[in-house]
A and B are shown apart, each in its own frame.
Chain A
Amino acid sequence: LAKTTQPISMDSYEGQEVNITCSHNNIATNDYITWYQQFPSQGPRFIIQGYKTKVTNEVASLFIPADRKSSTLSLPRVSLSDTAVYYCLVVGDNQGGKLIFGQGTELSVKP
């Protein structure tokens, strides 16, 4: 199974761009990288998914280098409401279809 490693916590200020990097050295060929956001006392919410290069949606961008051993979630111009825990998951048949959440990165956005 592909294990993911990401920073435990990060601090930022409103208006800044935040980049959260996740390493997944054992990612398999058919695996995808998925990110979730969780607010206190709520279930996680899907943010973005990618396989390689760059994916962008209305919330975030996901950068994946050619070797796919890491990925970076980029949140442009964060606001206080982006304070949450962000999880990086590797998903696919190699994981048995399971969704395994690590400890996540607790992002704190300050005014």
Chain B
Amino acid sequence: DADVTQTPRNRITKTGKRIMLECSQTKGHDRMYWYRQDPGLGLRLIYYSFDVKDINKGEISDGYSVSRQAQAKFSLSLESAIPNQTALYFCATSDSLSARTEAFFGQGTRLTVV
């Protein structure tokens, strides 16, 4: 089983619908992140969380919200999906106590908004 699991892997939704992307991890890490990636572009940080009670906006948080339900779970919501939110979404985790700042990524969720 993967250390960082994203569900669903693929999703097609209609404009205006609410959708939630889920991420769970078994690594015991305290830090979790959500990124989006558009074709030919790098990853852009949407939200990040350093512990259960800590939520921070990233570079592009407008139109998104998150919930850190437990140390192992971090979900991303699109309250009212729009076509330009069509992208590949990645969840990642890292350990603040590690001397090496290594992030572990999930397999990605490919979201299409029509």
Contact = CB atoms under 8 A, between A and B. Distances in A.
* Chains A and B bind each other: yes
Interface of B: 4, 31, 33, 35, 41-45, 48, 50, 56, 58-59, 88, 90, 92, 94, 96, 100-108, 110
Contacts of A41: 88, 108, 110
A102 B41 CA distance: 8
Interface in A84-105: 85, 87, 91-92, 96-104
Given A97-B31, A99-B94, A104 B102 contact: no
Interface string A64-102: 000000000000000000000101000110001111111
A46 B103 contact: yes
A103 B103 contact: no
Main secondary structure of the interface of A (DSSP, over half): loop
A91 B101 contact: yes
A41 B103 CA distance: 17
19 contacts: A34-B102, A36-B103, A41-B88, A41-B108, A41-B110, A42-B107, A43-B92, A43-B106, A46-B100, A96-B56, A97-B31, A98-B48, A98-B58, A99-B103, A100-B59, A101-B43, A101-B44, A102-B42, A104-B42
Interface residues of A, number: 23
A45 interface: yes
A69 to B, nearest CB: 19
Interface in A20-56: 32, 34, 36, 41-46, 49
B96 A43 contact: no
Contact of A49 (B44, B58, B102): B102
B109 to A, nearest CB: 11
Given A44-B105, A91-B101, A101 B35 contact: yes
B41 A103 contact: yes
